[in-house]
Structure 1
Amino acid sequence: MKTDKITKLIVASLSLLLFLNFSVLAQTNYTIASGTELKITGGSSLHDWEMISKDAKGSAVFTITGNSINSAQSLKVNAEAESLKSGTRGLDNNAYKALKTSQHKQISFTLKELSGSAPNFTAKGDFTIAGVTKSASFPIKLTQSGNNLVFEGSYDTKLTNFSIDPPTALMGTVKTRDDVTIHFKTIFQPTK
């Protein structure tokens, strides 16, 4: 009789511990919130330039223990290539031609692995630009802002890595440099 009570107490204690453990370690679904910004910066023989998009879409699943971000189970961000704007119509048109936006409407990033610990992680994943997918590894910062998570960083690459010929203008007298940097600040909000 006494052993039955002890057994029941042990089973109840283990059940409670398992329940608490699952409630502390949670996977949460997120979507991109307003305030997200994707930016590509580069230069030319005439001046530096930047193109910004504030129209990204995407989703992610993060694993959070208590108030600490442990990992991302998945993360995908995409944007219409023609949502990138420089403020100069000629530059935009040259960029869209180089990005082959009539054939490849989207640019995207898909996370494959996140390593490190909050707030500093290394992201490994695939960028797809102008229809070409390339693997990348770069440092990111992943922080909490209220209920939202902010995924931000930058990645240095070359246009030619994505089979993009650096655009020229004014009969070839202005030449775009091959080196560019992709900057991102993506804000994820929990899905409801």
Structure 2
Amino acid sequence: MHRLNQDFFMEDSIQVAKKLLGKYLIHETPEGITKCRIVETEAYMGVLDKGSHAYSGKVTPRTEALYEQGGISYVYLIYGMYHCMNVVVNAKGLAQGVLIRALEPVEGIELMMQRRKTDKLKNLCNGPGKLCIAMGITKNENKKNLMTSSLYLEAPEHEDPLDIVAATRIGIDYAEEAKDFLWRFYIKDTPFVSVKSKNATSL
């Protein structure tokens, strides 16, 4: 395993969203280490995307992390109770990000089950809010350098080609035509994804 370097993050969010599949998200905390394989992502294309927090082009205290150079985390709160983790990508100022939507638990599973108060492995990290609870990711992890901090991404030494499916993103019905973009990607046939869509297409 090796940590992802800066170059990995310096493409647009659609490309990085696909490249992140099969990589590993690791969080080292005082409670222990949790490690999961990324199986589902969503791309957000900044001002080009009505589904993006950055569509207006206005930098706010909530979104300022998005405008940084690729390779840091963007963690925000939804519904006043659930955190979501994004990987900021591409050049500074473009405000492109990739939402980590579902994970396959690999290491620290008992700790993740304690945090989520469940023993159901398939449901442990099959949603952006669920995975943040399981991995102990909160607003404290916002703006973390994903190459050097205790929250980081790794690639296996040898990667086999993946069967990737593209589908519409979840929970952005307000985004007009952008709600129909096939910018959600997941590994085909894995049981750990959040939602399998009928309109999905294999890449």
> What TM-score does the superposition give when structure 1 sets the normalisation length?
0.34
**In proportion to residue count, which structure has more strand?**
1
Where relative contact order (Cα < 8 A, 6+ residues apart) is larger, the structure is 2
Structure 1 or 2, whichever has the larger Rg, is 1
> What TM-score does the superposition give when structure 2 sets the normalisation length?
0.33
